[in-house]
Amino acid sequence: MITWLNWLSPILVLLTGSISASYAQASKPIITLEQIDPQFSNIVSKTANAVIIADGFEWSEGPLWVERHKMFLFSDVKKNIIYKWTKEKGKEVYLKPSGYTGSVPRGGELGSNGLGLNMKGQLVICQDGARAVSVMNAPLDKPKAKFIKIASNYKGKKFDSPNDLAFLSNGDIYFTDPPYGLEKNVNDPLKEAPYQGVYKISKDGKIVLLTDTITRPNGIAFFPGGKTILIANSDPEKPYWYAYDLDKNGLFTHGRIFYNAKAATKTADGMPDGLKIDKQGNVFATGPGGIWVFNRKAKLLGKIRVNDLASNCSLSADEKTMYVTSNHRVLMIHLR
C-alpha cells in the first residue's frame, strides 16, 4: 500500500538532502527549542532550524568542522570509516579504515571516534578499535590510512578505547578512555586497567593519568583560557558533567559536579556525551533529549531537543552553525 509518506519522501529528500528511515522521526520536527533563561535566545535564535545533511550510519560520532578546507568530518564508529561532508558534494568516504587495522575480525565499536586538529594542523584520531590516540600521517586534503600512534598505553597497560579529546594552546592533548570500544565493555577479557581514565599527552610525548574516578568519561572540552575543563560522564548511575581546574602543571584540581542530569534521564533518552564550548564560554552538551546549553557558571539556559539520540556536536568557525551527529544521521543546525 502506498502511504502519504511514500510519495512525500522524495520531496523531503530534496529539502533536507536525506531522510530518516524512521516514519516516527519523519513525522516530528527535527529539533524543537526549549528556552529556560532569556540568555538562551542570544545564543540560539528563536528561528533556529535544522536539516539532515547525511543519513544511513550505524553510529555517527566525532564531529569536526575544518575551516581551512570548508569540510565537515565525522566518524561512523561501527563501520570503521571517517566521512567527509561538503556543501558541494555532500557525503563522501574520507578515510577507511579509521580505527581498527588488525586482520582478526571483531565487532563492537572498532572505528574512529573523537577527531581534532593539533597545532600542526594534522588530524588527531581517537581510535576505539586500535585502543590508541593517533595522528593521520597524511595531509588533510590527501587522506591515507597511515597512522602514528601518540598514545597507546599507560605504564604498560593498554587503553580501553580513547573516545574524545581536547587541546591546550601549548600543544598538550587531553583525552577520555571509557570501555565502549571493547567488545564486552568493562567485562572484556582484554581490558587491562581496572578503572576508566582521563589522560594528558604532553607535548613531549609523556602520558599522564589525570583522574581514575570518573566511571564513564566521554565528551571533553576546555573553557576559553584553558584553565578549566569540562568532562561528560555517560553513566546511568552518575549522569553528570564534571568540571576541573588545571594547576600550573596542567593537572586536575578542584573537581566538582558541573551539572547533574539524573532527573532528566527518567523522562528522556540519552546520557551526557559529546560537547563543545564556544568562544564566550557557553556549553553545548549532548544529553538526555538533545543538546543542553549552559553558561560557564553551569546555569542551564535551554535545550535544543532532537528527535533522535544526539551523540556529539561541532561548531563552525563563526559559531553560527552547529553540526550534530545523531545516531544514524548528521544534522546541520543554523543557530542564528
pLDDT tens-digit map of 253-304:
999 999 999 999 999 999 999 999 999 999 999 999 999 999 999 999 999 9
The answer, yes or no, to whether residue 23 has pLDDT greater than 80, is: no
The answer, yes or no, to whether residue 19 has pLDDT greater than 50, is: no
pLDDT tens-digit map of 149-162:
999 999 999 999 99
The answer, yes or no, to whether residue 1 has pLDDT greater than 70, is: no
Check residue 25 and give its pLDDT.
55
- What is the residue extent of each domain of the chain? 4-334
C-alpha cell at 20: 530518516
131: left (phi > 0), else alpha (psi -120 to 50), else beta?
left
Q: Band the pLDDT of 28: cuts 50, 70, 90.
A: confident
| 315: nearest Cα among 288, 289, 284 | 284
H, E, C per residue of the chain: CCCHHHHHHHHHHHHHCCCCCCHHHHCCCCEEEEECCCCHHHHCCCCCEEEEEEECCCCEEEEEEEHHHCEEEEEECCCCEEEEEECCCEEEEEECCCCCCCCCCCCCCCCEEEEEECCCCCEEEEECCCCEEEEECCCCCCCCCCEEEEECEECCEECCCCCCEEECCCCCEEEEECCCCCCCHHHCCCCCCCCCEEEEECCCCCEEEEECCCCCEEEEEECCCCCEEEEEECCCCCCEEEEEEECCCCCEEEEEEEEECCCHHHCCCCCCCCEEECCCCCEEEEECCEEEEECCCCCEEEEEEECCCCCEEEECCCCCEEEEEECCEEEEEECC
C-alpha cell at 84: 567527509
The answer, yes or no, to whether residue 18 has pLDDT greater than 80, is: no
Cell 568493562 sits on residue: 186
Check residue 2 and give its pLDDT.
36
Q: Band the pLDDT of 205: cuts 50, 70, 90.
A: very high
Taking residues 117-145, what's their average pLDDT?
A: 98
pLDDT tens-digit map of 295-332:
999 999 999 999 999 999 999 999 999 999 999 999 99
What is the fold of 4-334? Neuraminidase (2.120.10)
Q: Are 244 and 235 in contact (CB under 8 A)?
A: no
Task: Specify the length of the chain in residues.
Answer: 336
The answer, yes or no, to whether residue 123 has pLDDT greater than 90, is: yes
Single-letter amino acid code for the residue at 34:
E
The answer, yes or no, to whether residue 190 has pLDDT greater than 70, is: yes
For residue 169, what are the CA distances in angstroms to 34, 87, 188, 226?
34, 30, 36, 8
pLDDT tens-digit map of 76-99:
999 999 999 999 999 999 999 999
Q: How far apart are CA 311 and CA 330, in angstroms?
A: 10
Q: Are 144 and 156 in contact (CB under 8 A)?
A: no
Q: How far apart are CA 313 and CA 95, in angstroms?
A: 20
Q: How far apart are CA 9 and CA 15, in angstroms?
A: 10
Q: Band the pLDDT of 17: cuts 50, 70, 90.
A: very low
Q: What is the mean pLDDT of the chain?
A: 93
Percent of all residues in the chain with a pLDDT value above 70, rounded to a whole number:
92
